Amino acid sequence: MHGVEFAAGTVFAGYRIDRLLGRGGMGTVYLAAHPRLPRRVALKLLNRELYSDPEVRGRFEREADVSAHLDHPGIVSVLDRGVEDGLMWISMQYVDGTDASVFRREPMDPARAIGIIAHTAEALDYAHERGVLHRDVKPANILLAPARTGDRVLLTDFGIARLRGDARQLTRTGAFLATLAYASPEQLSGTAVDHRSDQYSLACTLFTLLTGESPFPADNPGAVVAAHLTKPVPRASATINNLPPGVDEVIARAMAKDPAERFDSCAEFAHAAMTAAGPASRVIASGRVTPLSQGRADIDAAASESGPVVQERWSARTEVSAPGHTLIRSEPLGSAHRPQPAVSSRWRVLAVSLIVLAMVAGVGVIGVGAIYWKFVRPNRVAPPPNWGGHASVASGFTDLIPSGPTGRGWREASCFATPSLVVLPGDPAPAQQITCTDTNGVTSWYTEFPTTADADAYLARHTTEDATRQLPDTTVTAHRPRDPGAPFTLATREHGNPLSANTVVEVSWPGHSFEETRDNWWQQAPF
């Protein structure tokens, strides 16, 4: 029998089969009910005829082994594995959505594409920090599900991933498991790979999302390999109108043939792409993302009705309105905090010589001072980046949010200014938001509204008050979501603190109830 055929209602390894999710060359994936918990899982089964193949079986086992090392909200969790009736199986976190490959031949809005890449980059860097290389980054392995703030993005399929230092090979002679369209030159040439190989594949993925086509499309596999090894990186702006050329330069650097010429991390690549895209204006209406003209005259001529909102990751904001939607334009966050280039030691030696000559020639104190200031003064280290336009959000939660996006918050949380905000019709439009994820897998969104009335209106519409916690000078209320399927597990609001009066905090702890989140996060959080 080729593949695995189970009818709805069949019980396998304790899991009750609901329906077929997908079928591939290696296995079959079903939606199934967990045998003991009220949750659904993706049950992945290796095709029966492949069980005797040690290399394929090794890849299947590797997916569970490697994923067990990773606990990140942007990586699909592997829950369990086993062998039943001669079938190898893995139970995985079920993501109710689709994968990014569905956008093949359909160019995606640049703001959304870069946002997806930024979330994937964070997950990859997390894996790299723990010694795991994915080695098969591509749109089909990036899962997308709807979320309150746009796309929920999760990286999956670590079947050919490798732990650093593990020399075991999972590719049989003459076969290459990574998808050619997204494979790095070092993978194709058989040389050593590191985290920068995943960055190359991530850049190929961004190119595909932007243009609808992979960087080196060809029917002949040999032509694809030759292009990755020898051809220059194509320019996405040649296909997409109004795409800033700077995005081409960022992709070209991340896809450099020499890994040493790429960015140091995937997050650095994603940030560079976001910066190069500029303060692009976007409007979301009826589920479609439509670019608007950035011309001042076009913006000033817009009408004044409010509706759904998308806010890019920018600080200084200009709001205008048009029928059916509201547009928020802004300036790039953090541009004032870029490190200044250091003066090289060669220039410093030369400058000292100039000072000596200047003093002999009698050019005066001003001339000598100018030379000193430009070349000799000690290299100034730029301060770490702060929250810029999002400082008003962070200032109300100094014990929860770090002083800047490079720091760590409560429970070692990593935080960033949320790239985009999509507002449901009828909801008040937020001002800005910071997102944090801690080491327990708890994600918290700190959303600042223009007024306290807006914050109250949002909570009244989506939650019911559950508990109150008394602090020395303020009180904190815990709110239960009205909709059991809401993307947050708990919401909270601090009363009596003017710095956080307009901010609603929503918390998501996948796999945990409201009560568990209330007792283990809300009751202990240092508001």
Catalytic residue numbers read 136
Distance of CA 148 to the CA centre of its chain: 15
> Hey, what are 473's tokens?
């000078």
Contact 88, 184 (CB under 8 A): no
Residues near 256 by beta carbon (within 8 Å), at least 6 away in sequence: 200, 262
Q: Please, what is the Cα angle at 488 between 485 and 490, to 5 degrees?
A: 115
Q: Within a 13 Å sphere around the CA of 30, how many CA atoms are in the beta-carbon half?
A: 25
Residues near 503 by beta carbon (within 8 Å), at least 6 away in sequence: 393, 396, 397, 446, 447, 448, 449, 455, 493, 494
Determine which helix (DSSP H) or strand (DSSP E) holds 300, and give its type and residue range. Answer: helix 296-300
Q: Please, what is the Cα angle at 407 between 406 and 409, to 5 degrees?
A: 135
- Look at the block and give the residue holding tokens 């200032």: 395
Write out the E strands in 443-521: 443-448, 463-470, 475-481, 490-495, 503-508
Residues near 75 by beta carbon (within 8 Å), at least 6 away in sequence: 67, 123, 126, 127, 154, 155, 156
As a whole number of angstroms, the distance between CA 460 and CA 454 comes to 10
Q: Looking at the chain, how many residues does it have?
A: 527
DSSP 394-442: HTT-TTTS-SSTTS--GGG-EEEE-S--B--TTSPPPSEEEEEE-TTS-
* Nearest in space to 258 (alpha carbons), one of 202, 191, 209, 167: 191
> What number of other Cβ atoms are within 10 A of residue 372's Cβ?
15
3-state secondary structure string across 6-40: CCCCCEECCEEEEEEEEECCCEEEEEEECCCCCCE
Angle subtended by helix axes 110-129 and 266-277, to nearest 10:
160
As a whole number of angstroms, the distance between CA 219 and CA 1 comes to 31
3-state secondary structure string across 258-285: CHHHCCCCHHHHHHHHHHHHCCCCEEEE
> Hey, what are 137's tokens?
């980054």
As a whole number of angstroms, the distance between CA 285 and CA 305 comes to 13
Q: Please, what is the Cα angle at 387 between 454 and 373, to 5 degrees?
A: 150
User: Which residue type, as a one-letter code, is found at position 450?
Assistant: P
